[in-house]
Amino acid sequence: MLFPEINEKKTKEKVDSLLKNYHKIRRLSGMPIEQKVTATYSLDPKSFTGMNSSAIENGTIKKLDAVSLYRDINAAINALDAYSRKRIYNKYINSTRFYDYEVYSAENISEATYYREVGKAMIEFAEAFQSGSLLVFENE
């Protein structure tokens, strides 16, 4: 079957858990690698910054992972139509945090309509993110 049945509830849970961390991922992707404040005793060779090489490597790996994830999230959001993009943006991305009821009240739509549209946008995001890596299928 080309398009197996999607388990929407589990897929939405995965999307929600990823996008709830969007601001953390954004901060990590731009975060400079900082030196440790406390002294460490190690036989690892020290770099010119005074940090041992494994600490620098770990920090660099975390930053690269965050940058990659941040780019993948933004690429998936940009692949959505304008209406779905707006729903995802208002719920997860906007730096001014609004409660859901503030959004659907301001747009003069019902609560049920709002959540139906957000759910649809979440499924579309799951399809667009890393070639569907967030999708959960019924047979899984």
Q: Is residue 73 part of a domain?
A: yes
Give the integer Cα–Cα distance in Å for 115 and 89: 14
Q: Is residue 138 part of a domain?
A: no
Residues above pLDDT 70, as percent of the chain: 76
Q: Is residue 66 part of a domain?
A: yes
108: left (phi over 0), alpha (psi -120 to 50) or beta: left
Q: What is the pLDDT of residues 49-78, one digit of tens each?
A: 555 556 666 666 677 788 899 999 999 999
- pLDDT, position 63: 72
- pLDDT, position 101: 95
DSSP annotation of 113: H
**Domain limits at 24?**
14-132
Instruction: Please report, as a single letter, which amino acid is at residue 127.
Output: E
Q: In this structure, are residues 9 and 134 in contact, taking their beta carbons and an 8 Å threshold?
A: no
Q: Is residue 139 part of a domain?
A: no
How many structural domains compose the chain? 1
Q: What is the pLDDT of residues 14-47, one digit of tens each?
A: 999 999 999 999 888 885 444 344 444 444 445 5
Q: When comparing pLDDT for 48 and 30, which is higher?
A: 30
- pLDDT, position 2: 72
- pLDDT, position 49: 53
Q: Is residue 6 part of a domain?
A: no
Instruction: Please report, as a single letter, which amino acid is at residue 29.
Output: S
The burial class, CB within 10 Å (0-12 / 13-18 / 19+), for 15 is buried
Distance of CA 23 to the CA centre of its chain: 8
Q: What is the pLDDT of residues 97-108, one digit of tens each?
A: 899 999 999 999
Q: Is residue 117 part of a domain?
A: yes
Q: What is the pLDDT of residues 107-138, one digit of tens each?
A: 999 999 999 999 999 999 999 999 999 999 99
Q: Is residue 86 part of a domain?
A: yes
